Structure 1
C-alpha cells in the first residue's frame, strides 16, 4: 500500500477549490483542497495504480474510505491519521476470504471474523494473528470451539560460520469441543381472535339467565331452611338403620362383624 502523504504540485500555490491536481511523482488527486492540503472528500490515484476514495484531513486519509490495491485487494472502513484504524473489512482477492472487524494502527487487532469460502473463524486478533479463545463455524452445520496458544518454534540461522537458534512464537489452534450449529428461530406471540359483539338473541338469553339465577337463589334459600329443620338427630340414626335393613342395605360396621363371624 502506498503511503504518500503531501505531494508537490506541478504548480505552486494554495488551492482552496476542488478539481484535478497532478503531482510530479505521477500521482493524481481529484477532490477538495483546503490551504494547499487534501481536506474533505477526494480520490487519490497513486503512481503504482492503487487508489483511495474517501475522506481526508490535513493531507492524510482520515475518516471513512475505500482503498483499492494493485493486487485487487480492497479495504473498506475507517481511517485515522493515514492508517486503517477502527472498524473495517479487508477483502483478499486471491482467496476470496475477508477479515471483518477491528483495526489498530494499520494492524488487525481486536474482535473480528475471518470469513472463508466454506467456513469462518470468530475470535480476537493481535498483530494479524488470532489469539485466545474462539470458534470455527463450518457450513456443514457444526462449530469447533477452542483457543489459539502461542507456541515456541525453533528457527536456525547461520551467521559468520556460527549457527544460532532463534525462538519464534507462533499461534497454534487447540480444539476443545465440537457442537451442532444452533439456528435461531423467532418466537411470535399467539394472536387471539377479536371478541365478537353479542347479538340480539344472546342479549335476550343473558337477561333470561339472570331471571333464572334469581329464582334459583330463592329456591336455594328455601332448601337451606328446610334442610336445617330436617337435620337428623340421634333417634333418626336408629330409624335410618332400620330402614336400611328393610331394603337389604348393610352398613360397613355390620359387614365387618359378619366377616369376623366367618369360620377360619
Structure 2
C-alpha cells in the first residue's frame, strides 16, 4: 500500500464554509480532508482536529455557535469515545460518548458545581451519585 501524500490547503466551499489544513487524494482521485485541519462553518461552528476520509475522525474540538464546546474523540463526524461537553449554561459532562450521545461511565457537573457520577445512557442516568470532594 502506497504512503498517503498530504498537501496543505486553504479551501472555501460553495456554501461559504472554510477549511485550512491537510488533504490527500482518495482512491478515486478526489481531494479529501485527511490529517489535521480547521473547518469553519457559518451554521455549525468551528472544528479543529483530526480528519480521515473527509470526516472528523480522531481527536478534536468542536465549538458550536451556541457556545457549547466538545473536546474529545470523534468517529465519522460524531462524538464517539471519551470527551468533555461544556454546555452554554456552564454545566459539563465528562465521560464516554457513542454516536453523539452520553453512553457509559461519566461525570456531570451541575450549575452549583456539584459533580454527579454514574452510568449514562443518552438522556437517562439512573442511580447517579454525588461525588464528594474531601
Q: Is there any run of 5+ residues in structure 1 with no aligned partner, and where? A: 1-37, 150-169, 183-264
Q: Which residue of 1 aligns with 2:118?
A: 146
Would you say 1:106 and 2:58 are equivalent positions? Answer: no
Q: Which residue of 2 aligns with 1:115?
A: 86
- Please give the TM-score of this superposition, normalised by the length of structure 1: 0.44
Would you say 1:79 and 2:31 are equivalent positions? Answer: no
Q: Which residue of 2 aligns with 1:174?
A: 126
Q: Which residue of 2 aligns with 1:69?
A: 41
Of the three residues 11, 20, 38, the one matched with 1:44 is: 11
CA contact (8 A) 1:144 1:175 kept: no
In the TM superposition, residue 106 of structure 1 has moved relative to its aligned partner by 2.0
Q: Which residue of 1 aligns with 2:28?
A: none
Structure 1 segments of 4+ aligned residues over 6 angstroms from their partners: none
Give the total of aligned pairs.
Answer: 124
1:91/1:41 Cα in 2 relative to 1: closer, same or farther (>3 Å)? same
Q: Which residue of 2 aligns with 1:97?
A: 68
- What secondary structure, in the 3-state scheme, does the structure 2 residue paired with 1:114 have? strand
Aligned-partner Cα distance in 1 for 2:118–2:128: 5
In the TM superposition, residue 140 of structure 1 has moved relative to its aligned partner by 2.9
The CA RMSD over aligned residues, in Å, is 2.0
CA contact (8 A) 2:6 2:35 kept: no
Q: Which residue of 2 aligns with 1:253?
A: none
CA contact (8 A) 1:110 1:124 kept: yes
- Please give the TM-score of this superposition, normalised by the length of structure 2: 0.82
In the TM superposition, residue 138 of structure 1 has moved relative to its aligned partner by 3.4
Aligned-partner Cα distance in 2 for 1:114–1:181: 21
CA contact (8 A) 1:141 1:180 kept: no
Q: Which residue of 2 aligns with 1:130?
A: 102
Larger radius of gyration: 1
